[in-house]
């Protein structure tokens, strides 16, 4: 349930974007005029030169703030959401990017959407995350957390990667492809969708396993329960890499195993009242085109 009113707002911006400073200052002014305290994420403050407010690390923001406003695109949200996961801080996204499935408030409508949200009149939605490791010779050499997906890809000089895929205690298949995506419901509208995977409603407790450009046409995307662990072992292919959203490990070796499972952490997204997942799909995927 939404709180009666938020008190302290963290501001995070895509600080590389042209013209971001005046936009952030405008949003900050709007929030402070509602009587709320504001702190800036440290990199945002340093790179924009906004110095009138506390500049805090993500950990400090998670401890002090009860809402985070992320201004940018889905990539900005992904990076910050991973930082906020263990704190449970609700996130609202103002879209300055192109598509914006999870930064769903258009920049030109932020005032009418953000005002009621700051007063606690909003929808709150919890999304599952993924976590996992890379194992080599019985030792974990890398750990990652992802909101969208975990992707194992072939190296730049290799024609493919071959992965032995297990789910829980069961062998699934050896997949020969450009790579394999393990996606959360949130990530089903991202890379997995581009690779031919299905959309998965955020309320479904599932994962999507999607081969990328499979060398065997019968290897198709499959929806899995998220109660089990997915394991992918490198069988063939040079210089394969794995990406947990924005965290990457390159030069995987034959025999390396990548494990993926549902994380104990969840992300809380805040939406305007009346928000609809289906309306987001219609708008972002242009499903309304051709309809009278």
Residues constituting the chain: 292
Least Cα distance to 245 among 75, 86, 120, 18 occurs for 75
Q: Are 242 and 66 in contact (CB under 8 A)?
A: no
Q: Where in the chain is the domain with CATH 3.40.50.10330?
A: 8-120
Tokens of 8: 């302290």
Q: Are strands 257-272 and 230-236 parallel, antiparallel or unpaired?
A: antiparallel
The catalytic residue among 74, 104, 149, 178 is: 74
Tens of pLDDT, residues 91-114: 999 998 677 789 989 999 999 999
Read off the pLDDT band of 287 (50, 70, 90): confident
CATH topology of domain 8-120: Rossmann fold (3.40.50)
What are the residues whose beta carbons fall under 8 Å from the beta carbon of 45, sequence distance 6 or more?
51, 53, 55
Q: Where in the chain is the domain with CATH 2.60.200.30?
A: 128-264
- The pLDDT of residue 157 is 79
Domain 128-264 has CATH 1.25.40.80: no
Q: Which residues pair with 93 in a beta bridge?
A: 70
Tens of pLDDT, residues 17-67: 778 999 999 999 999 999 999 999 999 999 999 999 999 999 999 999 999
**Predicted TM-score (pTM) of this structure:** 0.93
- The pLDDT of residue 292 is 45
DSSP string, the chain: ---S---EEEEEE-TTSTTHHHHHHHHHHHHHHTT-EEEEEHHHHHHHT--SSEEE-HHHHHHH-SEEEEEE-HHHHHHHHHHHGGGT--EEEEE-SSS-SSS-EEGGGHHHHHHHHHTT-EEEEEEEEEEEEEEETTEEEEEEEESSEEEEE--TT-S-EEEEEEETTEEEEEEEESEEEEE-TGGGGTHHHHTTPPP--TTS-EEEEEEES-SSTT---EEEETTS-EEEEEEE-SSEEEEETTEEEEEE-TT-EEEEEEEEEEEEEEEETT--HHHHHHHHTTTTTT--
Strand order in the sheet with 149-153: 222-225, 206-212, 179-183, 149-153, 240-244, 247-252
- The pLDDT of residue 249 is 93
Phi-psi region of 264 (alpha: psi -120 to 50; beta: other; left: phi over 0): alpha
Judged against a pLDDT cut of 80, whether residue 4 lies above it is answered with no
d(CA 11, CA 24): 8
> Is position 66 annotated as part of the catalytic site?
no
């Amino acid at each position: 349930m939404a709180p009666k009113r938020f008190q302290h707002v963290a501001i995070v911006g895509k600080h590389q974007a042209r013209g971001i400073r005046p936009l952030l200052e405008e949003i900050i002014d709007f929030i402070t005029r509602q009587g709320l305290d504001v702190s800036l994420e440290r990199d945002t403050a340093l790179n924009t030169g906004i110095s009138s407010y506390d500049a805090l690390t993500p950990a400090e923001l998670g401890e002090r703030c009860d809402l985070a406003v992320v201004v940018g695109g889905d990539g900005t949200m992904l990076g910050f959401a991973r930082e906020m996961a263990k704190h449970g801080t609700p996130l609202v996204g103002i879209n300055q990017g192109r598509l914006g499935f999870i930064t769903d408030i258009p920049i030109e409508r932020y005032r009418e959407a953000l005002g009621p949200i700051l007063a606690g009149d909003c929808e709150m939605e919890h999304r599952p995350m993924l976590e996992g490791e890379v194992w080599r010779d019985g030792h974990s050499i890398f750990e990652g957390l992802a909101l969208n997906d975990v992707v194992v890809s072939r190296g730049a000089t290799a024609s493919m990667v071959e992965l032995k895929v297990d789910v829980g205690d069961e062998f699934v298949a050896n997949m020969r492809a450009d790579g394999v995506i393990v996606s959360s419901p949130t990530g089903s509208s991202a890379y997995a969708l581009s690779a031919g995977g299905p959309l998965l409603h955020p309320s479904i407790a599932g994962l999507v396993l999607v081969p990328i450009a499979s060398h065997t046409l019968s290897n198709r995307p499959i929806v899995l329960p998220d109660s089990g662990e997915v394991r992918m072992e490198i069988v063939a292919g040079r210089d394969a890499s794995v990406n947990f959203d924005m965290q990457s490990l390159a030069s995987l070796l034959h025999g390396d195993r990548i494990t993926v499972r549902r994380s104990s952490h969840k992300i809380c997204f805040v939406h305007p009242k009346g928000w609809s997942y289906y309306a987001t799909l219609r708008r972002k995927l242009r499903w309304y085109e051709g309809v009278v």
